[in-house]
């Protein structure tokens, strides 16, 4: 597996992997009728190291709210994707805790355009896009798109 | 507000995960491509920065999912999905011959909302 990382079986398939999403990485999908992240929101680091995520179970276990991963990141939202779906698309998940981010983990494996599109369509909002975006011409309310709340 | 939103992807780490800033040359390549393929009835794309400093054009409407990643001038990667006719789906790199890409844009442009 990529860079010697090995999938960690202690991360349950039901685990929700969180990913911060800047304003430019989500838009309204008229085919689906909801706001969703772009496929570009699910890429490895430009230096080739695997994509970073945050494990919701670790955050909760430490007593941190999901909002804590948005500290100093004004304007961002949080998308979540289930570990089992990620694994079913050829990825492994490894814990990589940091001093200031004990929930940090890596998603390891090839992220082709097709796989990134699957992640984008399968993900759900854990922290929704701002309400002002409901002024989309399609009159959709972003709150409708939340899958984990 | 609009200017601020456009300005931030040109700084390093604009996605908080180490993304590279969007290069001006990639903006030029994107504008050049749009000039070649857009028609008056083509809906406007979502223009999305990518972690490697490139840009991606996305349309998700009229039953079509079309994404074009602009890697540099004349180098694109396209994924086309027709949700009404999946047998027409294709993806792959595009370089000098834009005919397949233009056909995808035409499908999108000609289809009613």
Quick one: pLDDT at residue B75?
95
Q: What is the pLDDT of residues A108-141, one digit of tens each?
A: 999 999 999 999 999 999 998 876 565 554 554 4
**Tokens read off for A57:** 């179970």
Confirm if A111 and A39 have CB atoms less than 8 A apart: no
Nearest CA distance, A13 vs chain B (angstrom): 24
Give yes or no for B56 touching A (CB within 8 A): yes
CA A109 – CA A118 distance, rounded (Å): 14
**For residue A148, what pLDDT band results from cuts at 50, 70 and 90?**
very low
What DSSP state is assigned to residue A50? P
Quick one: pLDDT at residue A23?
87
Please, which residues bridge with residue A34 across strands? A29
CA B55 – CA B67 distance, rounded (Å): 11
Return the number of CB contacts < 8 Å for A and B. 75
pTM > 0.80: yes
Non-local (6+) Cβ contacts of B10 within 8 A are: B21, B22
Spatial strand order of the sheet with A16-21 comes to A92-95, A104-108, A51-55, A16-21, A77-82, A124-127
**Tokens read off for A95:** 């814990």
CB neighbours (10 Å) of residue B68? 23
Average pLDDT, chain A: 88
CB within 8 Å: A38 and B18: no
Q: What is the pLDDT of residues B18-59, one digit of tens each?
A: 999 998 999 999 999 999 999 999 999 999 999 999 999 999
Quick one: pLDDT at residue A132?
59
CB within 8 Å: B63 and A31: yes
Nearest CA distance, B60 vs chain A (angstrom): 5
Average pLDDT, chain B: 90
Output the CA–CA distances (angstroms, integers) from residue B24 to A53, B11, B52, B94, in the order listed.
29, 12, 13, 21
3-state DSSP helix/strand/coil % of chain A, to nearest 5? 30, 25, 45
Phi, psi of B5 (to 5 degrees): -65, -40
Tokens 């709340």 belong to which residue? A149
Output the CA–CA distances (angstroms, integers) from residue A89 to A4, A23, A110, B20, B22, in the order listed.
19, 26, 9, 26, 29
**For residue A47, what pLDDT band results from cuts at 50, 70 and 90?**
very high
Quick one: pLDDT at residue A141?
42
């Amino acid at each position: 597996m990529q860079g010697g990382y090995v999938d960690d079986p202690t991360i349950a398939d039901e685990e929700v992997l969180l990913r911060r999403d800047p304003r430019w990485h989500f838009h309204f999908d008229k085919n689906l009728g909801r706001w969703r992240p772009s496929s570009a929101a699910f890429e490895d680091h430009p230096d080739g190291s695997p994509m970073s995520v945050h494990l919701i179970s670790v955050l909760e276990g430490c007593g941190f709210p999901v909002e804590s991963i948005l500290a100093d990141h004004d304007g961002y939202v949080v998308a979540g994707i289930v570990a089992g779906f990620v694994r079913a698309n050829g990825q492994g998940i490894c814990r990589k805790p940091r001093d200031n981010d004990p929930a940090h983990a890596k998603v390891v494996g090839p992220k082709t355009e097709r796989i990134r599109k699957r992640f984008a369509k399968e993900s759900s909002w854990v922290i929704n896009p701002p309400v002002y975006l409901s002024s989309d011409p399609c009159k959709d309310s972003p709150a409708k798109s939340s899958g984990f709340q | 507000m609009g200017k601020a939103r456009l300005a931030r992807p040109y700084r390093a780490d604009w996605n908080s995960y180490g993304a590279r800033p969007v290069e001006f040359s990639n903006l030029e390549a994107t504008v050049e491509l749009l000039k070649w393929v857009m028609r008056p009835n083509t809906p406007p794309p979502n223009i999305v920065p990518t972690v490697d400093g490139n840009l991606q054009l996305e349309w998700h409407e009229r039953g079509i999912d079309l994404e074009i990643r602009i890697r540099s001038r004349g180098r694109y990667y396209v994924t086309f999905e027709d949700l009404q006719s999946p047998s027409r789906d294709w993806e792959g790199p595009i370089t000098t011959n834009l005919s397949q890409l233009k056909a995808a844009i035409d499908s999108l442009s000609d289809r009613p909302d």
